[in-house]
Amino acid sequence: VMLERVHGVRSRTLGQENELTIGSAGDLAAVYAQLGRFAEAKAMFAAGLAAAERAGLPESLTIVDFRGKYAILLAQTGEAAAADRMYKSVLPAEVRLIGADRAALRGSRSGAAMTAKRLGRTTEAEELLTDVLARRERLLGPDHSETLGAAHNLALLYSEQGRDDEAEAALQRIAAGVERTLGPDHRNTLKAKMSLGLARLLAGRFDEARPVLLRPVRRWSVSVKRVCAGALLLAAAGCGRAAAPVP
């Protein structure tokens, strides 16, 4: 509601082709997309782009952000090719405006990588994600949540390519980093441990999977316990031993 009011006031007082109006339109359209109101969001993005082109607005971070949010919507609605074209304009513009390091702290490169992956350009996706991870690690530190998020994206890519050892190494790094930052019983730590345990389980390394899965079973909700407990049963079967009771 507040964003709708802000956008309405800017539209009336500044006009549809003002940069601030277009920026608030992007914010509002992104919220519509989060609420599943995709048609309204897409119409607002299209109108904003048309307004910027009519006004001949210079390239600015506000306009680049607008296009980046539109690319996210296009990817969400299955229009990967259109999203890819949008990202092709966003990525170099970000570097020109704020530099490669600051651009890597934003979400556009990861979004572009995921889109490239969907289009079968896995080498390009890996190069983007590797660059983002390296820059975030240098700028934010190895255990920062944004760094670990970049590592998670790489782990997903490795897993989908069947590169299980590299995927597991990334998941192990994530689990260790989250535990150092948040502690052993934080929800995110337990989630990371479960991902690592399931990866080891799927790789047939039951003895290594079982101890990693034990803590999420003991600490998490009933629904998650059932998932982990089932995994532990499989791990026990693979080890040729009876499953220990889950507390």
Cβ atoms of 199 and 191 within 8 Å: the answer is no
- pLDDT of 220: 55
* Residue 245 pLDDT greater than 50, yes or no: no
Instruction: Take residue 234 and report the two structure tokens written for it.
Output: 């499989």
% residues pLDDT > 70 (the chain): 87
* Residue 239 pLDDT greater than 70, yes or no: no
* Residue 70 pLDDT greater than 70, yes or no: yes
Q: Estimate the share of the chain in helix, then strand, then coil, as percent rounded to the nearest 5.
A: 80, 0, 20
Average pLDDT over residues 83-99: 97
Confidence of residue 22 (pLDDT cuts 50, 70, 90): very high
Measured between alpha carbons, how far is 247 from 245 in angstroms, rounded to an integer? 6
From residue 137, alpha-carbon distances to 119, 141, 173, 180, 223 in Å are 27, 5, 12, 15, 34
Average pLDDT over residues 236-247: 40
φ, ψ for residue 99, nearest 5 deg: 90, 160
% residues pLDDT > 90 (the chain): 70
Cβ atoms of 239 and 210 within 8 Å: the answer is yes
Instruction: Take residue 144 and report the two structure tokens written for it.
Output: 């920062």
Average pLDDT over residues 100-126: 96
Average pLDDT over residues 169-197: 90
- pLDDT of 219: 65
**From 82-91, 100-109, 231-240, the region with the lowest mean pLDDT:** 231-240
Average pLDDT over residues 99-103: 96
* Residue 53 pLDDT greater than 50, yes or no: yes
